[in-house]
Amino acid sequence: MAEIAQDSGGGHKKGGKVRSKKMSTRIDFTPMVDLGFLLITFFMLTTTLAKPNIMALVMPEKDIKKEDVEPVKESKVLTLLLGANDKVYWYEGITDAKLDSTDYSAEGLRQVILNKMEKVKGQFGMEDYEDFKTKEPRKGSFINVIIKPTKDSRYKNLVDALDEMAITKVRYYVILDISKLEEEFIKNPAAGLKFNAEQQVEAATQ
Amino acid sequence: MPKHKPKRSAPTIDMTAMCDVAFLLLTFFMLTAKAKPQELVVVDTPSSISETKLPDAGTLTIMVDKDGKVFLDMAGQHTRMDLISAMNSTYQMGLTQKEMNVFSIVGGFGVPRNQLKRFLDVEPSERAKFPSTGIPIDSVDVNKSELANWIHNARLSQFRMKQEGKVKEEYVIVVKADANTPYPAVQSVINTLVDINVNKFNLITSMEGKPGAEGKK
């Protein structure tokens, strides 16, 4: 309004034609950017982006009938006893078992499992089996691992042991409660393991 | 000769592009993110090479802290409401409607059944400081084990809700235990699950690099 009045009143500008002053259409975005980044920071801090990983675990059923238990070859069995202070005790088979100990490193437990696999492969060769999902016949060599955590072990030890199963692709493994005989065995390895096949089944199906 | 003055330009920067980026990121975070639930208990999970991700919905989480105290958390407001009304009438817990409403939105809990009323009455901001003693486990008689009762009833509630069409899936049971938990505490939880015929469950672990790159530890 004021500008129009000025135009008509004061005609002593060049040509008499006065252009109205053009306002810049630029908006200062700085506060908006501030706000944007503030909100980003807020959302970044209050959210969980990385979802935790899960590891599936299948436990044997509580009441297994003795008839349903399929016997396994003793020389294929590797038993891991998860002990205190991140130590793993292990022995092969049952008869005349020798107790040895190792740790959870790549050179320790993993090597024990791989050695056992090699041994079983050498002894039994490749066997036929049916693929779980596709039912296709395949060939492979398997060991059976029994994991028995002692009372002094911690949860991490169990997960580490299960992790080794996944890394070395052990197909058959099971977590069982430790028996009295095995606790004795850890304390006094020289006495040997007085465990027979029936007691093993007993321990597994109790 | 007149001095040639360099034209001074105002030191303004065009913020439009920056603004675009900021809001693009903001939109991204808002759409992808899920609110971080308030942690009732600090659990430092062990690491593994597993790459399976935790499902988005329908999880029943059993947390075991490093002292072996057991906490429970489950997804789904409808299920929780159904669960608490079932538990309230079965065990005469004497909860009011308001307390049951609180239960349906509260996160995890780790108190014996007889302390639950007190736990729900506490102000939300004070709840993290509540002296939780963990959910009791009776390893001898599964019918007396409170943990077993909670899980069993929660699964039943979830199943009912699924039939009513309020939820899509049945519960996936996950165990989230601290790396330093003594094994017997984890063992009693696992035995409880096996006792109520949950033979398949999951252990929550954190990420670890594949072996071979630099090896473990």
- Strands B172-177 and B200-207, bridge-based pairing: parallel
Distance CA A57, CA A162 (A): 9
Q: Which range scores top for mean pLDDT: A26-30, A135-139, A165-169, A190-194?
A: A165-169
Distance CA B17, CA B30 (A): 20
Tokens read off for A145: 């691992």
Sort B9 into a burial class: Cβ within 10 Å, 0-12 / 13-18 / 19+: exposed
Predicted confidence at residue B38, as pLDDT, reads 63
Predicted confidence at residue A159, as pLDDT, reads 87
Q: Tokens 């022995």 label which residue?
A: A91
Beta partners for residue A57, in sequence order: B201
Q: Tokens 């009791």 label which residue?
A: B136
Tokens read off for B157: 């509630």
Q: Which residue has the higher pLDDT, B87 or B5?
A: B87
pLDDT in tens, B96-132: 888 888 888 887 888 888 888 888 888 877 777 778 8
- Interface subset of A 179-198, CB within 8 angstroms of B: none
Predicted confidence at residue A50, as pLDDT, reads 67
A23 at B interface, C-beta within 8 A: no
Average pLDDT (A42-61) is 79
A119 at B interface, C-beta within 8 A: no
Q: What is the pTM of this model?
A: 0.73
Lowest model confidence (mean pLDDT) among A169-173, A183-187, B20-24: A183-187
Contacts of B6 by beta carbon, 8 Å cutoff, 6+ apart: none
- Evaluate the CA torsion angle B99, B101, B104, B106 in order and state its sign: negative
Where residue A202 falls among pLDDT bands split at 50, 70, 90? low
DSSP B71: E
B1 at A interface, C-beta within 8 A: no
Per-residue pLDDT at A5 exceeds 50: no
Cβ–Cβ below 8 Å for B19 and A33: yes
Beta partners for residue A127, in sequence order: A140
Average pLDDT (A115-132) is 77
At residue B214, φ and ψ (nearest 5 deg) are: -140, 0
- Report all structural domains of chain A as residue ranges with CATH numbers, in order of start: 66-205 (3.30.420)
Where residue A16 falls among pLDDT bands split at 50, 70, 90? low
* Min Cα separation A5/chain B (Å): 32
Calculate the average pLDDT of chain B: 80
Could you tell me how many helices (H) and strands (E) chain B has, helices first? 6, 6
Lowest model confidence (mean pLDDT) among A18-27, A53-62, A150-159, B183-192: A18-27
Identity at A196, one-letter amino acid code:
N
Cα distances from A44 to residues A32, A47, B50, in angstroms, run 18, 6, 26
Q: Tokens 């040509």 label which residue?
A: A15
Lowest model confidence (mean pLDDT) among A1-5, A104-108, A156-160, B118-122: A1-5
Q: Which residue has the higher pLDDT, A182 or A18?
A: A182
Which chain A residues are closer than 8 Å to B32 by Cβ?
Answer: 49
Lowest model confidence (mean pLDDT) among A161-165, B4-8, B93-97: B4-8
Per-residue pLDDT at A8 exceeds 50: no
Per-residue pLDDT at B159 exceeds 80: yes
Per-residue pLDDT at A118 exceeds 80: yes
Average pLDDT (A178-199) is 72
Helix (H) or strand (E) holding B207: strand B200-207
Cβ–Cβ below 8 Å for A155 and B174: no
Predicted confidence at residue B141, as pLDDT, reads 74
Identity at A117, one-letter amino acid code:
M
Q: Count other Cβ atoms within 10 Å, centred on residue A111.
A: 13
Cβ–Cβ below 8 Å for B53 and A53: yes
Which chain B residues are closer than 8 Å to A156 by Cβ?
Answer: 46, 179-180
Tokens read off for B1: 């000769």
Beta partners for residue A90, in sequence order: A80, A100
B30 at A interface, C-beta within 8 A: yes
Predicted confidence at residue B216, as pLDDT, reads 39
Render A45-102 in DSSP notation, one character per residue.
HHB--SPPEEEEEEPPPSS--GGGPPP--GGGEEEEEE-STT-EEEEESSTT---EEE
Predicted confidence at residue B36, as pLDDT, reads 61
Tokens read off for A36: 């944007």
Nearest to A78 by CA among A55, A105, A98: A98
Q: Which residue has the higher pLDDT, B120 or A201?
A: B120
Which chain B residues are closer than 8 Å to A157 by Cβ?
Answer: 183
Q: Mutate one of A59, A82, A156 to test the B interface: name it (highest B CB count within 10 A).
A: A156
Cβ–Cβ below 8 Å for A43 and B183: no
Predicted confidence at residue A17, as pLDDT, reads 66
Which chain B residues are closer than 8 Å to A161 by Cβ?
Answer: none
Contacts of B56 by beta carbon, 8 Å cutoff, 6+ apart: B34
Cβ–Cβ below 8 Å for A33 and B52: no
Average pLDDT (B20-29) is 87
Per-residue pLDDT at B213 exceeds 60: no
Where residue A170 falls among pLDDT bands split at 50, 70, 90? confident
Domain boundaries, chain B: 64-207
Predicted confidence at residue A186, as pLDDT, reads 78
| A145 touches A173 (CB < 8 A) | yes
Cβ–Cβ below 8 Å for B46 and A156: yes
Average pLDDT (A24-47) is 83
